[in-house]
Structure 1
Amino acid sequence: MLSLKLNIFSKLLILLSFILFPVVLLYGYSNWTSVNVIKTQIQELNYNRLSFFMDQVESNTDQIAVLTSVFARDYSVQSLQARNNFSTYNEISSLNAVEHKLRLQQLASQWKNQIVLYYPQAGLIVPNNLVSKESFRLKDIITNKPKMWVYEKAEGGANTGYQFTHYVVDNYSDDPGEILQVTKAYFSTKILTDMLHEFNQNKAGETFLYHPVHGDLSNPDQPVRHKAQLMQLLRTKPLESMRNQTVEFEGQAYMVNALKSDNLDWYLMDVVPINSILSPITQNRNLFYSSIAVLLLLGTLASMWLYRNVQVPIKELLMAFRRMRHGDYSVRVERATGGEFDDLFSGFNYMADETQHLIEKVYTEQLQSKEAKLKQLQSQINPHFLYNCLFYIMNMATLKDEEAVVAMSLNLGEYFRYTTRNENQRATVEEEMKLVQNYLAIQHLRMQRLEYEIKVPESMLGLEIPRLSLQPIVENSVIHGIEPQIGDGRITITGVKEGEDNRIIVEDNGVGMSEEALEALLDKIHGSHHEEMGYGVWNVHQRLIYRFGEDAGLAIERSETGGMRFVLQWRDNETIDKDRQE
């Protein structure tokens, strides 16, 4: 199971989140509780204010209705029912007394209202200057008997507005011809609109009267907002149950209350935007969350600063140590922090310089020692090989075979000229192939059973490899593979180039090696040199690694022909220029 490793930046952010999260959580709970408490209190307060307003309306309408009923039953008022002619002094005095009582009655009410008497039998209206007989529609009065107040258009033209009217009928009957007296009390809707205007002063939202048939009744100076949506809502929901309900218009929440006036049969509607009520709390909440966001941002910036100035330098230093541990002693930390890490980086760079210098010095000394041994080997002529070639020349001269003598002499001379030259430790593949060809030509002259084939593409002939890298491998195949074998021997040298990968394959059909001997040889060429082991193959492998990197070297395996297969391999892009150090 993989473990998640967090850096210091992530840890600081997590710590900051753990610190701020409980604060935000506690504040959110506190804010939610406060909002609910305040909403409840505001709802109750608002509902109580509406109830008080409605009580005023009900009280005044009740007062007018009661006074109207009392006035209608007054003896002097009812005495006019039996009179048909008001030309005598007594009749005129009675009429004047009734009109005087009417004026006194109007002064007894807080609301400005009018009371009118109508005597159908006599066709008399008192006072006769307020309304006409046509306004007393007895059939409508009989029909509206259950209603205490009737909403109707006021008399006096199209622009006179509307009024609320209360009727008291004496000798009430379904037959209009039997009605003796109708007392009509009315007041203008302006009284209510003025009250609503005063009620809405310094108050959020709107309060208005609403009737499902007649629509809304409000002050013209305070038009109802979202009127169309409100009317649609009021037509689709039962108004009796509408108390502290929350609705939304154009993305804003409103609190809606409805109180019914039993006298007027209208509803007192109140619509208050919740956001305006809770705006102080909302502002405090937004300020708090903004402060938390600023703190989180500052904490993040501080964490980033610490990460950049602490975590990143430490990370770069650790990466530099890892590269040194893997052998890259050229690594340096090039970073200016302007702080304590500058001294640490300077100390690391100084240590890396000293370490690299020491290692390169030791490695150079080892290389020089190896090169000295190689040059010593190159300068030494194998007496056995030379004696065999000289005896071959002598025998061919005795047999008068001049061509064989010339061929052996030329190949032998070219061979020793190349092997004894010490001025350059690198050679091209083409030069190495010429040396190998001279060597194999000499061995072919000595052993007619030896055949060889060289197949190297032209694209590889110009590549540089360490000098005398190929001849020791071919010599090993001839001496340890072909010579001990009875019968024909064959050596094939093949060059392969695939992109930046290069290989030279030396394959023979000699006696081969046992599995144990092969494993022992592989262990020796990958280890340090010992005197008891052959120097040529080990030297070739080590020089290829030094020249081209760890992926280069010598691979040894069995051949399908029965002998051995040696592969020299390296990559072009891994070339390391060591000439400057030599």
Structure 2
Amino acid sequence: MSIRRPRQWRLTIFPKLIIAFLLVIAPIYVIGLQMNRLGESSVREELSKSLKSKVDFYLNSLEVENERMMSLLQRYVVDKDVQHLAFISNTMTIGEWSEAVLRIQDKLEVIKGSSLYVKSASAHILTLKRTLSTEKSISDTLDEEYEAVASVYERKGPGIFYWKDRLFLAVAYPGSDLPGMQETFVLSIELNLETLEQSLLTITDYDNSGAMLINSERNWSLKGNGNAEMVTELAHFLDERTELETREGISQVSLDGSLHLVAFKHSPTFGYDLVAYVPPEQMLGSIEKYRNLLWMLSFISLAIVVAYSYWLYRLIRKPLYKMISGFRKVEAGLMEPMVLPKSNDEFMYLFQRFNMMMDKLKVLIHEVYEQKIRAQSSELKQLQSQINPHFLYNTYFILYRLAKMNDNDSVVRFSQHLGEYFQYITRNASDDVPLEAEIRHSRTYVEIQNIRFAKSRIEVDFGELPEGCKDMKVPRLIVQPFIENAYQYGLESRRKDGRIIVAMVLSNDNLFISVEDNGEKLKDADLLKLEGDLAEKGKDMEFTGVLNVHRRLQIRFGAEYGVSVKRGEMGGMRVTLKLPFESSGKGNNNEI
């Protein structure tokens, strides 16, 4: 087939693509230069850094305050006056008792005056069922505020508690969690939420902006500004950041129906997130006019892209679509030549080569591929058919022996197991069966052999099927031949304590099935010969027993799968089948 060359260089695809890209890039480049001079991106970046720096500074300051308050609580929770009042108040005189109460109240006042964020400080003495506080002195009963911090005994240290729109810091006496100890006393601080919310307002000074503190459990929040809907939206945004393991940064988030610039940071020490949000237009101010240039750029680019796309469709996509359609027909098995395009360019050459490839491919499929498939299918059927007669010979010989011995009960049981065996072989025409059925068939074979060999003579242990492997499809008769070999070659002459172990293990998306016996007749030379036969890929050798199954597995799954042999821990042969794990479930990754 002759190929006509393009008459002129300008008729090829290459110069047309160059012109098209120049038409797209030129206006974008000119307007892009103007936008770069205006520096919108630079201003936005600097303002974003400023907002994030404010969040970092405020959160660090708040953590310092919280740590100082926590430190005071931990310091006074081991105070001698509080301990004496809690443990030995019944041995104190009235004067000693009064002086201890006054000293404790003075220390609570110290805690209250330690920070502007402290509203009140309290000591709940559970052994006395009384509460000392900076607001109510000493009460006759435990104050209701104790309900807010009662769960502090479940923690190994101080904690933050939200109760009835109030926020507390609390710590329990450190010995209360010891075995046999009762709950003794709790020191708590109520935080001044109004002061905290006022301080949040100082983070941002833009209109429609604000800041919030939201705890990790999302069950309380402090708003410097904003509404409940914004709290919900920000909590959802923080949950997404938590899943992505991004606990601090700056991002754009839709809040209350409009886009906001959000800076956020998590406090791992106290379990809350600080979030500051600002509408971008408030930060960028006069830069809004630059956005109009961006819209202009977008409309111009859109018009150019539409025109360019239509032209590109006419030049490239239409013939390319025809070529893709031709390849899809090949995938579907329809190897038809494609109609040559009218244009005299590179596509003409591609279409001609495609048609030539189809002609050669038809020849290759006819002469090579189909013949190989037939040969492989014939070999598979031949290998499978070798197993059934071998087992049939042995079973009829056993039945003959039982009948000759007039052991009618064993004949009945043996015939039942034999019927189940042949029902498994002949019940359908499928070459593949569920792994559970294959193992059940092997157990039936063992029952047949138990009639031949006493259980006390040879014991067979079957391991559990790994989870998700029951419905895994495998070729028929891949386990029973190895159990038969163990009986025949490993344990037939053994008079007692014979043992066969069948194990199934999942590892790295592969299923390993091993059959091991404790026979004493295995020689190193025989083992080396069998390993060599398994590695041999010649087609003139006779495939029986181990080699039969090995060849079938390689035909079915590929060369990396099959059978391997070695000497087992019990001294006999250990045969291992490697199969790909073909199931929707996943097993445990254990090594054999």
TM-score (norm 2): 0.39
Q: Report the structure number with the largest CA radius of gyration.
A: 1
- Of structures 1 and 2, the one scoring higher in RCO (CA 8 A, sep 6+) is 2
TM-score (norm 1): 0.40
